Amino acid sequence: MNENIWTELPFGYFKDLTRIPRASGEEGDVLEWISKVIATQRLMIEDDKVGNMLITLPASSRYVKQKVTTLQAHVDMKCVGKDGNFGPEGFPLKLKVDGDWISADGTTLGADNGMGVAAMIAIANDTTLKRGPINLLFTVQEETGLHGASKLGLDIDSEYLINLDGNRFGECYIGCAGSFRASMVFDTAPLFKSPFMHRIEKDVYSSWKIRVGGLQGGHSGFDILGRSNAIRKLAGFFNSLKMRLSDLNYFLAEINGGDEDNSIPTWAEATCIFNRSAEEIKHHLLEVAAYAEEVMKRNEPAVNVKLIEVDKPSMVISSNESQTIMSALLTLPPTLIELLQCSSSPKTSLNVGTVKTAEGRITVRLMGRSSSAQSLQDLKSTLIRTDPFPFVNVTIESENPPWEPQNDTELLRIAEGTYEELTGRRLGIGIVHAGLESAYIGGHDMQKISIGPTIEAEHSINERVSISSVRGFYSHLKAILEEISS
């Protein structure tokens, strides 16, 4: 049934998209391709200084006087592979079709938000669709903090906005969480010293790399429930080891993990020296690792904790400061801070996205989210109070506002009615625990919704999109546009 999906709309356009590099900040080629695919109709095309592009579609005949609808999707994607981020050399993506699912071999798929982009191109080129005038808004740099939408320099004259960045067919979002990005920097340059300055003798001490890997990862908003964070788990490993051996000292050489601040990290590793010989410490390491794996496998079936004896590092941090760094990671607010009232959906969360040792500094990248502006402010204040830890500096770097819910609009009623007519089921209505560009587009008088196909594990190599849900999503989108024009 799915052997020839690439001849269907919008699948064919999506396949074309997977051939074009489109990391955040590098969208020029894909925007040029989109303008050529649609420009055969000699349409009005505008762009702004950031790179956002607006294409205006005239109405079908007899629907010229209908209300203007804006369709919007972002053209950039997360480029994550098995060994971290990849560049243009990773394209074209290697697509796989397995039953009802499309994925990419060893990389992110880019269905977030490529299927939305493909649907907009398909709408533009569908000559049979009965619709009013449409704006097609293609935004850039969404994956780096909604940067394109926040700097939007185009006049969007429209009554309705349909954002196509939803990730569950059958769910319609009418609001989204606000967010902030932050960095926690440990200025460790003055602390790095030769191991011999700490009287670390080769025959008494041993050096190890501890790595937590194989976690599912995913989008730090959509997938925050039930996923383990490799950086937090690595800090927990050292805490468990210290509780087991109270007189244990360790000296960090480096700690690294994660790929993006808005992705749940799938791996983290630390290289250190223990004040134990390899023979003394090895069985303790193995037992703590085995217990950590057993606990995590309840929701992370592929987890692994690897212990590798390594050559002694040339420079390490003293034991007290090493433990301070791990304690700071452990005492951060939890991943899931609070749920929405009368719901199992997250309201406020904090993702520890990356940790990196470089140039005498250990930098931790964080992303907080909440649908409550007050909760978001409280979380920022809590992080800033991390300063009691010595040599630590916390900086709030960027912020995005929440999209305040619109509970009763004509556009929402149209979306509900057409979905029920197509499927026989009621459309789910909710607030998504992720940032959507709808928060920046249009004023309070613009009616807004967000829909999309079912996408799993965005921002990870396990990303996949449901074929049947794409068909349903595209049919629903066409039905909404036709109903608006009727």
| Pair of tokens at residue 291 | 């217990």
Domains 5-177+402-485 and 179-400 share a fold: no
**Mean pLDDT value of segment 209-223:** 92
Instruction: Say what the pLDDT of residue 359 is.
Output: 85
**Mean pLDDT value of segment 415-439:** 95
65 pLDDT tier (thresholds 50, 70, 90) = low
**Mean pLDDT value of segment 197-204:** 57
Task: Tell me the range of 19-33, 387-401, 403-417 where mean pLDDT is highest.
Answer: 19-33
Neighbours of 18 (CB within 10 A): 21
Instruction: Say what the pLDDT of residue 170 is.
Output: 97
Q: Is a pLDDT exceeding 80 seen at residue 102?
A: yes
Residue-wise pLDDT tens digits, 156-173: 999 999 999 999 999 999
Residue-wise pLDDT tens digits, 291-308: 999 999 999 999 999 999
DSSP three-state, residue 386: coil
Map out the domains of the chain as residue ranges: 5-177+402-485, 179-400
Instruction: Say what the pLDDT of residue 466 is.
Output: 98
**Amino acid type, 399:** E
214 pLDDT tier (thresholds 50, 70, 90) = very high
The answer to whether 346 and 433 are in contact (CB under 8 A) is yes
Q: What is the pTM of this model?
A: 0.79
Closest CA to 325 of 254, 228, 381: 254
CB-based contacts of 201: which residues, under 8 Å, 6+ apart?
none
Whole-angstrom distance, CA of residue 431 vs CA of residue 388: 36
The owner of tokens 């925050």 is 224
Architecture (CATH level 2) of domain 179-400: 2-Layer Sandwich (3.30)
Instruction: Say what the pLDDT of residue 141 is.
Output: 97
Phi-psi domain of 170 (left: phi exceeds 0; alpha: psi -120 through 50; beta: other):
left
39 pLDDT tier (thresholds 50, 70, 90) = low
Return the CATH fold of 5-177+402-485: Aminopeptidase (3.40.630)
Instruction: Say what the pLDDT of residue 404 is.
Output: 85
Whole-angstrom distance, CA of residue 63 vs CA of residue 348: 44
Q: Is a pLDDT exceeding 70 seen at residue 201?
A: no
Residue-wise pLDDT tens digits, 429-452: 999 998 999 999 998 789 999 999
The answer to whether 123 and 12 are in contact (CB under 8 A) is no
Write the CA distances from 213 to 205, 210, 253, 466, integer angstroms.
26, 10, 19, 27
222 pLDDT tier (thresholds 50, 70, 90) = confident
Residue-wise pLDDT tens digits, 232-275: 999 999 999 999 999 999 999 999 999 888 889 999 999 999 99
Instruction: Say what the pLDDT of residue 244 is.
Output: 95
Whole-angstrom distance, CA of residue 431 vs CA of residue 173: 5
Percentage of the chain exceeding pLDDT 70: 94
The answer to whether 442 and 448 are in contact (CB under 8 A) is yes
196 pLDDT tier (thresholds 50, 70, 90) = low
Whole-angstrom distance, CA of residue 136 vs CA of residue 81: 30
Average pLDDT of the chain, as a whole number: 91
Pairing of strands 455-456, 464-466: antiparallel
Least confident of 19-28, 55-64, 121-130: 55-64
Instruction: Say what the pLDDT of residue 85 is.
Output: 85
Whole-angstrom distance, CA of residue 410 vs CA of residue 328: 49
